[in-house]
Structure 1
Amino acid sequence: MIYKIFRTPEWQALRADETTLGAPIDLADGYIHFSTAGQATETAARHFAGVEGLWLIGVEDAAVADNLKWEVSRGGAKFPHLYAPLRLDQVAWAQPLPLIDGVHEFPAGLR
């Protein structure tokens, strides 16, 4: 499973359009940034600190395997990058990522 953090308008757009090229950073970089379970909390802290209205999207990596590349990024770690639009039918689940006392509350088992 790989994970994408979307702001509410980005998640709503994916639901309405049934496909997305991602957030502005994804459009600028030419691929959709994902994180592993172990990387998602740091991604939230670094790139979404203090941001409310986030959604955590879970995608089975097998569902996007044909266009998924694992590339070295932050601190030499490999991150999953999707070089194709993400389709709504590839999303396994989505849930709010609430901000509690200034920290995003991730699902149990994903920390």
Structure 2
Amino acid sequence: MAASAGEGEEFVYRISTAQEWEALQKNGSCFGRDLDKSSGFIHFSFLHQVKPIVLNFFSNVKLDLFLLQIDAKKLGDGLVYELVDGSNSFPHFYGPSRSFAPLPLDAVTKAEKISVLDGQFSYSLLD
């Protein structure tokens, strides 16, 4: 089910592993991780959703993480806003005609390493 909440925001955000971020820079695009490939779209979030997602899904990950800021306009109509769990809307990138296109490097406007200190995550994009 498509939703309009958050639609029109200038940026969406991707929590990326260092490996994924390096591959994106090297290849100019990437299809994300296993969850993205099995879902058929690349998972993004809005800025206010980043911290809860990091805490819920990445708190036990021992990999270096990066927060990528993505220019939503560069993803075009392949970016769809969908309700998840009936109340929260998340941006998902399917690509043109829902063809599961890779995330293009030129859509990334900023990338910042997520720092972990005493179990707390920090990134200046949220400050």
Say whether 1:77 aligns with 2:94. Answer: no
Query: What secondary structure sits across from 2:53 in the alignment?
Result: helix
2:55 paired residue among 34, 45, 55: 45
Query: What secondary structure sits across from 1:11 in the alignment?
Result: helix
Residue in structure 2 matched with residue 54 of structure 1 by the alignment: 65
Query: What secondary structure sits across from 1:50 in the alignment?
Result: coil
CA offset at residue 50 of structure 1?
Answer: 3.4
Q: Percent identity?
A: 33
**Distance in 2 separating the partners of 1:75 and 1:43:** 17
Q: Answer whether contact 1:71 1:79 (CA < 8 A) is retained.
A: yes
CA RMSD of aligned residues (A): 1.5
Residue in structure 2 matched with residue 93 of structure 1 by the alignment: 110
In structure 2, relative to structure 1, the CA distance for the partners of 1:50 and 1:101 (3 Å cut) is farther
Q: Answer whether contact 2:112 2:123 (CA < 8 A) is retained.
A: no
CA offset at residue 74 of structure 1?
Answer: 4.2
Runs of 5+ in structure 1 lacking a partner? none
Misfit runs of 4+, over 2 Å:
none
2:74 paired residue among 49, 57, 63: 63
2:44 paired residue among 34, 37, 52: 34
Q: Which has the larger radius of gyration?
A: 2
Residue in structure 1 matched with residue 98 of structure 2 by the alignment: none
Runs of 5+ in structure 2 lacking a partner? 1-10, 95-100
1:53-99: CA deviations, max 9, x gaps? Answer: 10000011111122000001146211000003111111111010011
**Matched pairs, number:** 110
